[in-house]
Amino acid sequence: MIRTWKVRGLVLLTAAPLLAVVPAAAVADAGGPARSSDPIRLDGLLKPPPKPKTHTKAKAKAKVAVALRTSGPARDVIPGRTYEWKWTIRVAGKPRPKQVKAKKRKAKAGKGKAGKLQTSRARPREAVFWTTLPKSLAFVSGERQCASSGWRVVCRMGAVRRGGRVSGVIRARVVERAKPGQRISPLGTVTWAGTRVTRRFPAARVAATADLAITRSAPARARAGAKIPYRVMVRNNGPATAQSVMVLSEGPVKLVGWNTACVPGRGAYVCSVGSLRAGESRTLRLTAVPRGSVRAGTVLRTSWTAASPTLDLDRTNNGAVTRTRIIRRR
């Protein structure tokens, strides 16, 4: 009877899926307590297991492209002069069409996540530009939105939409102590809606400049027929080396003696001094006589001018004049 009971249990188990009910005897055979009045449901066992949840990475938000263009002086800059450094901020994208704007005005706030997202994207954001000027520059002026503190300049350019752009300019003076040949390239930075872009201005080079100063000495009087001594000193006050310095002498006198430094030409003399480093000076000692015969009481006026291919910032001290009155012989 025991074997027969097991066989019946198997038969009933085979037929149980059709009825979705298993008699308690089948469970009793597994070693557990059985009740004939409590059937076991197999609906949950026959259902396929749930699919495992896959953890997908959240898509990164696309960054808005912000472009920064810069421009500066096209030529070498000269100490003491003011120049402009310009920039343009451009935000990528297209402005929203008028139809979309009209629909958004009609739509109620909070209707759909998509509507909120589009509205936030269309909202203009503030664009801020700032730079730190090098010690060779001194801030002079800029846009009305610009403010400076020391060498740092900050310009709040207002709200800019996608597809929009805004431009600005900073005016700065090259300080007198700027070294010749020094490269000036300020670094500009712009922020817009969490995006930050940095770009340098084109490099500008400090021009090599010099400051030639000339001093002279000559006798206030000279007897007719006597030789007149001249002493001319040229000094370079810098800051750069003055290349190929020349002294031009014009007046009713004729240089005499052996002096290879001066060459006559068209009623004047050109005297070679050579290159002068910053702070260096050189003296010309010349002797001259009047051109032709002159009467007593005549004043010989001779001008001396220093020049160089190197840019001279102050030409007021490049020239000098000597005056010598001719007196009678004894």
Encode the chain (330 residues) as per-residue pLDDT tens digits: 444 444 444 444 444 444 444 444 444 444 455 454 555 555 555 555 666 666 555 555 556 689 999 999 988 999 999 999 999 999 987 665 554 555 555 555 545 444 444 444 557 889 999 999 999 999 999 888 899 998 999 999 999 998 899 999 999 999 988 999 999 999 999 999 889 999 999 999 999 999 999 999 999 999 988 899 999 999 999 889 999 999 999 999 998 877 778 998 887 999 999 999 999 999 999 999 998 888 889 999 999 999 999 999 889 999 999 999 999 876
Residues 219 and 257 in one domain: yes
Distance between CA atoms of 209 and 227, rounded to whole angstroms? 38
In a domain, 312, yes or no: yes
pTM equals 0.62
Residues 82 and 164 in one domain: yes
Which residue matches tokens 């509205």?
119
Residues 267 and 160 in one domain: no
Residues 217 and 198 in one domain: no
In a domain, 185, yes or no: yes
Residues 256-289: pLDDT tens digits? 877 778 998 887 999 999 999 999 999 999 999 9
In a domain, 58, yes or no: no
Residues 158 and 250 in one domain: no
Residues 158 and 121 in one domain: yes
Q: Which of 166, 181, 205 is the last residue of a domain?
A: 205
Residues 84 and 126 in one domain: yes
In a domain, 59, yes or no: no
Which residue matches tokens 């001594």?
229
Residues 200 and 216 in one domain: no
> Residue 260 sits in a domain of what CATH number?
2.60.40.1510
**Number of separate domains in the chain:** 3
Half-sphere exposure of 172 (CA within 13 A, CB side): 28
Residues 215 and 308 in one domain: yes
In a domain, 103, yes or no: no
Residues 222 and 197 in one domain: no
Q: Which of 180, 205, 230 is the last residue of a domain?
A: 205
> Residue 141 sits in a domain of what CATH number?
2.60.40.740
Q: Which of 205, 228, 253 is the last residue of a domain?
A: 205
In terms of phi and psi (left: phi > 0; alpha: psi -120 to 50; beta: otherwise), the region of 290 is beta
Residues 186 and 117 in one domain: yes
In a domain, 56, yes or no: no
Residues 84 and 190 in one domain: yes
Residue range of the domain that includes 179:
66-94+111-205
In a domain, 53, yes or no: no
In a domain, 57, yes or no: no
